[in-house]
């Protein structure tokens, strides 16, 4: 797991609990649960700053339902971690390169069975079942 993300507001050291995204085309600010990934065009906010959010005149705030308790790792997360460890252990060791010689790198691929669909700079997550 990654480190706990902090509030994006200046001089605030509180843990982030919500993510703020602006939809400029619709003059809307969307405030929802903390995003799975830190995105460059989103702002993570602590509980205090999420509760006192104000937007420019003429804009609308869309507040999504916030979870009542922090999300704990589920059995699917643990299975995915175990499968990743098994795959890494099953791969043959990389050949050692001599100094001055470059090793070959494989192309990056999206992980199989990703939780969301990525379109542009936004990420759409499926409802947990």
- Is residue 9 within 8 A of residue 52, CB to CB? The reply is no
What pLDDT sits at residue 89? Answer: 79
What pLDDT sits at residue 110? Answer: 55
67-85: per-residue pLDDT in tens? 766 566 666 667 777 778 8
Work out the average pLDDT over 104-116: 57
**What length is written for the chain?**
129
- Is pLDDT of 51 > 80? yes
Query: How much is the mean pLDDT over the chain?
Result: 78
What pLDDT sits at residue 92? Answer: 73
Percentage of the chain with pLDDT > 90? 39
- Is residue 21 within 8 A of residue 45, CB to CB? The reply is no
Q: 117 or 128, which is more confident?
A: 128
- Residue 88 DSSP class: H
3-state secondary structure of 47: helix
What pLDDT sits at residue 79? Answer: 78
């Amino acid at each position: 797991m990654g480190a706990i993300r902090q509030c994006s507001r200046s001089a605030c050291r509180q843990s982030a609990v919500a993510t703020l995204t602006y939809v400029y085309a619709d003059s809307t600010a969307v405030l929802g649960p903390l995003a799975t990934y830190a995105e460059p065009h989103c702002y993570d906010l602590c509980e205090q700053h999420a509760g006192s959010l104000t937007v420019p005149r003429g804009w609308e705030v869309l507040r999504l339902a916030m979870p009542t308790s922090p999300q704990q790792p589920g059995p699917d997360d643990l299975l995915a971690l175990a499968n990743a460890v098994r795959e890494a252990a099953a791969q043959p060791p990389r050949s050692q390169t001599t100094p001055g010689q470059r090793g070959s790198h494989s192309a990056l691929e999206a992980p199989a069975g990703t939780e969301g669909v990525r379109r542009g700079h936004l990420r759409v997550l499926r409802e947990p079942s």
